[in-house]
Amino acid sequence: MSIHCNAKLEDIEKTVLMPGDPLRAKYIAENFLNNHRLVNTVRNMLAYTGTYKGKPVTIFSSGMGMPSMGIYSYELFKFYNVERIIRIGSCGAYDESLNLFDTILVNNSYTEGNFAFEWSEKEEHIACSSTTLNNQIEKVAKNLGIKYIKGNTLCNDCFDGYLDDIQSFINRFPKELNIIACEMEAFALFYMAKYLKKDAACLLTVVDSHYKNLESTPEERERSLNDMIKIALESV
């Protein structure tokens, strides 16, 4: 079994929502789930299982970056028989038309990193989300009347906000991918899902913008994330 999770097999549901921040997992459980209970505390990577409108679901934090996401998504898929994971996180905008708090549904995740090569000696730098999950998420978003943008995103190893020359960094991306935003976990999640024949999707909320020189406060981020959380939970 997992060496990074102390949950019992029966503690984890078939559908998992994965925020990066453990405290965000706690927030979702306390504000959206009924009968929630804490099921993992190892490394303070908090996980909760409960019900949403009668449907069982687990909220499991992933931590930051592809290595952390790769570990937890693999163990959930492999050892806990999870069938689908929806990442719910924040991102930075690389498209001038995006505004703070916009919701993005990721289609493809691109990375310059070598996650795929380290895992299976394959030179793969694009990982795809689940068409089945994305179709369900799009249907739910439309029914809820919540606007979203579907597009390709970057999964980076370095926090771009600290780079000396971010424009040079952006100029390296394959132009045909039309990358609209960046985050740090989706590629690993999609790659693990494909490797283990599972389903994975990623919803993101824009919390800062390269072009508009804007960023949100922690309080604003929390409020804006609720739309994304509702879409994910309703998709369950």
Query: Which three-class secondary structure state does DSSP give residue 141?
Result: helix
**Cα torsion at 141, 147, 149, 154 (round to 10°)?**
-80
Which positions are annotated as active-site residues? 208
Contacts for 30 with CB less than 8 Å, ≥ 6 apart: 36
Structure tokens, 87: 């990442």
CA–CA distance, 169 with 161 (Å, rounded to integer): 11
Q: What sections of the chain are H helices per DSSP? A: 22-32, 66-79, 115-120, 131-144, 166-171, 186-195, 218-235
CA–CA distance, 140 with 74 (Å, rounded to integer): 27
